Amino acid sequence: MGVAAAVVAVYLAGVARLRDASPCSSWSWRRYAFVAGVAVLVAVLLPPVEPVVEDSFPAHMTQHVVLLLVAAPLLALGAPGLPFLLALPRRWRHRVAVVRAAGPVRRGRALATVPVLVVAVHAAVVSAWHLPVLYDAALTSTAVHVTEHAAFLAVGWWFWSLVTLPTAQLDGRAVLYVVASGLPMNLLGAVLTFAPRPLYPAQTGTGPDALTEQQLAGLLMWVPAGVVSLVLCAVLVLLWLRRLERESPAGVPLPPPGVPAEIRVATREEVQR
């Protein structure tokens, strides 16, 4: 809890500097998204929820869905990179800027924004951690369990940064990325729902209720997670349409800034006729 509070305090200090420089920027609402994301993390990873997750397979799968489809998008919406940087002392900011400007770092950052790579790594990580051998290891080792949660949060944050950063260009491809990222979760939900035997006996056991518990977990990963993905896709489509309307009202591309206002209005009226 103390670590979460410190992270939020540092983030808000950086946002305060950004808002002083640009009061009308999007940081006015992004800060709420980041704080909400941290609150979700605290809620699902600490007591009283965490002990329940350890004893319930459906609750455990729900926790994974929340990390990937709720906490990660909220944290990515907060775009914490710049606020964290501005919260540092000036000397440290200069050192970070030097590192970021280095050739290998710039090439690595460019590679990290390739959508196909991001989606592929996201799918690989989500699928790998649900293999029975890794899942069982996370149940028996605290270190592995923490690594599992960190991996989910990292790849989720990385993926959602593609479409939520201030510099992101929203278009129809963003919706395809979201659909592709949700496929592993949907497929896993279907497998758990229709599997003829328990796949994770270390948590569900092998008794008469084991298969029912597994099917419930599969439905939770399949249906609610799918609904959340659809809602997020709808939001992206609306934002995309809003951007198109802002850039070309009524389907008419805006003239260059140097064109007089009278000509802009006349041109728009001619196209509409």
What is the pLDDT, as a whole number, of residue 237?
83
pLDDT at 229 over 70: yes
Please provide the average confidence, as pLDDT, over all residues in the chain: 83
Return the closest-CA partner of residue 64 out of 130, 139, 137, 163: 130
Greatest mean pLDDT among 59-63, 88-92, 245-249, 251-255: 59-63
Structure tokens at 86: 């501005």
* pLDDT tens track for 26-55: 677 888 999 999 999 999 998 888 888 888
pLDDT at 86 over 90: no
The domain ranges of the chain are: 2-272
Of residues 262 and 230, the one with the higher pLDDT is 230
Q: How far apart are CA 96 and CA 48, in angstroms?
A: 38
* pLDDT tens track for 87-137: 888 888 888 888 888 888 888 888 888 888 999 999 999 999 999 999 999
Q: How far apart are CA 57 and CA 51, in angstroms?
A: 12
What is the pLDDT, as a whole number, of residue 151?
95
Q: How far apart are CA 157 and CA 130, in angstroms?
A: 19
Residue 268 to residues 61, 244, 252, 259, Cα–Cα distance (Å):
53, 16, 6, 13
What is the pLDDT, as a whole number, of residue 43?
92
Residue 71 binned pLDDT confidence (cut-offs 50, 70, 90): very high
